[in-house]
Structure 1
Amino acid sequence: MNNRLLKIKNLQKTYDNKTYALKGIDIELNKGEFVVVIGPSGAGKSTFIRCINRMIDPSEGEIVFDGVHMEKVKGKSLRQQRSDIGMIFQHYNLVGRVNVIKNVLHGRLGKMSFFKSALGLYGEEDKREAFKLLQKVGLEEHIYKRADSLSGGQMQRVGICRAIVQQPKLLLADEPIASLDPKSADIVMDQLKEITTERNLTCIVNLHQVDYAKKYASRIIGIKDGMVVFNGAPSKLNNQMIAHIYKGKEEQMTLTPQEESLAYQEQEVSSYV
């Protein structure tokens, strides 16, 4: 039985046909893995996972998700494939004026008909699942509050619920704790790991923090200058390799959450210039 969910071959991305953000990534992921991608700002981590669900179009290479070439699909087929890939963002991407449970239910939109999604006609089963997930992450008392009234850590837990209620086969998390204080980051990572493990859900998480990667990952991928320089078990990631990955940017491993968030935002801007 084939347990492989994702195969990436020679993935390359350039924004200007000169400088490459990704330089030939080759990776395979099996179902149920919790993979953490580490590396400093500018290494290509965000570009990497955003190519997987085609938020960014790759320049070259193959991305085979659940047997389908993501780099080739378009239109309705692309939307259908994306509905099986959940996404958690650094800055939450919630609708602030909308209450918590409706934000979670937005995760179902990709699996609903246009008519039902336009009118927000969610099924009772979807509503029960959304409430169950919010209970799971300790937010049942906040379900009718506006999303923008919550703390950052609470908003990120709503983001996790929204992605999970989508019932994806793959979950991508792009710097989900970079904007959080350490206590909130611990809660978010605990919940993310627990829920994905319970559901045998494949998850790829981008992080700066090596200590979090070692604590939560079943496998760590280290990216430096757009290339994979480490791919293995957390126990195999030694100090020498960590020093190589972050050489010249060692300070990023100990940034405060606020500083780390700013560094990441700067990289996001520079990636599109």
Structure 2
Amino acid sequence: MSVNLHGLWVRYPADSKLDPVKDERAGGLKNIQLSIARGERVAVIGPSGAGKSTLLRLLATAQQPSAGKLDVLHSNPWTLSAGARKRLRARIGLIQQSPPLPPRQRVVTAVSAGRTGQWPQWKCLLNLVYPLDIPGVAHTLEQLDLTEKIFARCEALSGGQLQRAAIARALYQAPELLLADEPVSAMDPVLAEHTLALLSGFSQERNSTLIVSLHNLEMALRYFPRVIGLRDGEVMFDKAASALSSEELQQLYANSQLHPSTAAAADRHHAIQIPRC
């Protein structure tokens, strides 16, 4: 298994005095039970505030659980030494919705930073001065139609271009577990489709695990064989995309502000044939 969560709770800092198991106000994530095998492609959907980003931060070992058991790539991150945890993180790629790329850093340097967890310190420092694998970075950027920006500063990129640069960094890292939090939110529909197809293809070619949170329900159903629905920090369903009913999707988003494309997709689910990658 790439990921195994058993009885997992995450509470918000404001609730730090609450019992994460007994008090429903603890928030965050509540008694999560999940197992995801290597090579699976999984979409995590749900309304805003459902806990999707918290789940991804947890799997990226950027956040420690309040209770329960967490196993990522056959290790419990929080029982490892600092050095071992750093090596584990080098095997996990995280694409954030708002990529924290240094504004004055060139794209080639920002993308090649994806390998810093795998390189010795001297190589990381040298790479800051002179990028060591310009052809490799250029090849990765080419797949995202961003080759012409290779020597541009990150501050000169648009929001969608920044997202693509962050995706290029994760792909260049070649992780065993790739996590993405709304990776196409700043892209137009054509680029979003291309990018999700690229991520899906990367996962299939390398047999790496791909877990992506999405607000766009139609894309989630198209590119991901398995869908997990989160609401109020709890798993409402976990099943094959083809087995989801429109009633389950409507219930997941009940009393929330649906994005028009999400509402439409929920209404016509099973009324049309959705192609699969």
Structure-1-length-normalised TM-score: 0.85
What SS is found at the alignment partner of 2:258? helix
The answer as to 2:21 corresponding to 1:14 is: no
Partner of 1:259: none
What CA distance in whole angstroms lies between the structure 2 residues aligned with 1:186 and 1:197?
17
Question: Partners in 1 of 2:87 and 2:189 — Cα distance?
Answer: 36
Which consecutive unaligned segments of at least 5 residues does structure 2 have?
19-24, 263-277
Deviation per residue, 1:113-161 (Å, 9 max, x gap): 223323436785x443222211222222221122222232222221111
Match of 2:38 in 1: 31
The one-letter code of the counterpart of 2:54 is T
Q: Which residue of the partner structure matches residue 77 of structure 2?
A: 70
- How many residues align? The count is 251
Selected match of 2:53 from 46, 64, 72: 46
8 Å CA contact 1:91, 1:179 repeated in 2: no
Q: Residue in 1 aligned with 2:127?
A: 120
39-48 or 174-183: which moved more? 174-183
SS at match of 1:71: helix
2 CA distance for matches of 1:198 and 1:162? 18
% identical equivalent positions: 36
Return the alpha-carbon distance in structure 2 between the equivalents of residues 24 and 239 of structure 1: 26
Q: Are residue 5 (structure 1) and residue 2 (structure 2) matched? A: yes
Summarize deviations over 1:220-261 as a string: whole Å, max 9, x none: 000111111111111111110011111110x233289xxxxx
Retained in 2: the 8 A contact 1:62–1:71?
Answer: no
Determine whether 1:208 maps to 2:215: yes
Asked if 1:252 is matched to 2:274, the reply is: no
Contact 2:109 2:131 in 1 (8 A): no
Aligned residue for 1:158, secondary structure, equals helix
Please say if residues 210 and 253 of structure 1, whose CA atoms lie closer than 8 Å, have aligned partners that are also in contact.
no
Equivalent position amino acid for 2:152 in 1: K
Question: Per-residue deviation at 1:33?
Answer: 1.2
Secondary structure at 1:173 match in 2: strand
| Contact 1:53–1:70, Cα closer than 8 Å, also in 2 | no
Within 1, Cα distance between the matches of 2:95 and 2:198? 13
Q: Contact 2:112–2:131 at 8 Å: present in 1 too?
A: no
Q: Deviations over 1:22-53 (max 9, x none)?
A: 11111111111111000011111111111112
- For residues 153 and 187 of structure 1, do their structure 2 counterparts lie closer, same or farther at Cα, with a shift above 3 Å needed? farther
Are the equivalent residues in 2 in contact too, given 1:31–1:200 (CA < 8 A)?
A: yes
Q: Which residue number in structure 2 is paired with residue 131 of structure 1?
A: 138
**Which of these two proteins has the greater Rg computed from alpha carbons?**
2
Amino acid at match of 1:222: G
TM-score between both structures, scaled by the size of structure 2: 0.84
